[in-house]
Amino acid sequence: MGPDQTVEIMRRLLVEAMVLSAPLLISAALISLLVSLLQTLTGVQEQTLTAVPRLVVVFGVCMASLPWTIHRLVNFTLRLFTDFHRYLG
């Protein structure tokens, strides 16, 4: 396996990691923005108010997107193993 093939495998891996983490990161960013806006408008500056909704929403999104995530991971692994003969020769 040459350097080009190693770079290609790592590129695929990083793209897959970005796609899989996108729903969690986007939901965490959106809920943080909404809570910050709510805190600014009401004047309540409680630290636990920012962490708890974010944890709940990220957990919910994680549970909701779990079948999709597992499906993508299984497909990625199968593609990697079926295309692996190209990298050995």
Domain ranges of the chain: 3-88
Indicate the average pLDDT of the chain.
Answer: 90
Q: b/e map of 44-77 (b: 16 or more CB within 10 Å)?
A: eeeeeebeeebeebbeebeeebeeebeeeeeebe
Please tell me the predicted confidence (pLDDT) of residue 3: 84
Which tens digit of pLDDT belongs to each residue from 9-49? Answer: 899 999 999 999 999 999 999 999 999 898 888 888 777 77
Please tell me the predicted confidence (pLDDT) of residue 83: 83
Please tell me the predicted confidence (pLDDT) of residue 67: 96
φ/ψ of 58, rounded to 5, equals -65, -40
Please tell me the predicted confidence (pLDDT) of residue 12: 92
* pTM (predicted TM-score): 0.79
